[in-house]
Amino acid sequence: MKKARIKTPLGVAEICGDENGISSITILEDSNILSTKIPEELSTCADQLNDYFEGKLTDFNLPLNPKGTPFQKSVWQALTEIPFGKTMSYQELSIKLGDIKAIRAVASANGKNPLWVVIPCHRVIGSDGSLTGYAGGLWRKKWLLEHEQPSTQIRLFE
């Protein structure tokens, strides 16, 4: 398994993967160690993450190889179908997956998403529009959602 660490506006992201695809992207709380050389298998992912954070990319196109149960993988696949700049509630996601009663299982699978940002679990919110749990911290979820919905309004007052 190859690893690389890159700087993002939200901290250092660690990318793990091999020739079969990217298996995980995690945000590290306390790390100043960055990779000086990105393995070839991870370079496209690093480039696409940088482009995303620079506002140049809205859809990732990467070979993914996350480890999880078939149910988790079905939830993660559904997450990739939430368009850039849009959100969906856990309830809506459960209905989309065919079982409104599976809302807790869907939320659990969402929380175990191993591919930070690339599988956009940050786009899932509470039914009332609230920002609900996020493994990377709610401040990061808020940042990501604002990044994907930049305001075009000019501020007149600070």
Active-site residue among 121, 124, 125, 144?
121
The continuous run of DSSP H or E covering 5 comes out as strand 2-8
Given a contact cutoff of 8 angstroms between Cβ atoms, the answer to whether 131 and 141 are in contact is yes
Tokens 């398994």 sit at which residue?
1
Question: Is 16 considered catalytic here?
Answer: no
**How far apart, in whole angstroms, are the C-alpha atoms of residue 118 and residue 60?**
6
**How far apart, in whole angstroms, are the C-alpha atoms of residue 4 and residue 33?**
10
3-state SS class at 8: strand
**How far apart, in whole angstroms, are the C-alpha atoms of residue 111 and residue 104?**
10
Neighbours of 149 (CB within 10 A): 12
Annotated catalytic residues are 121
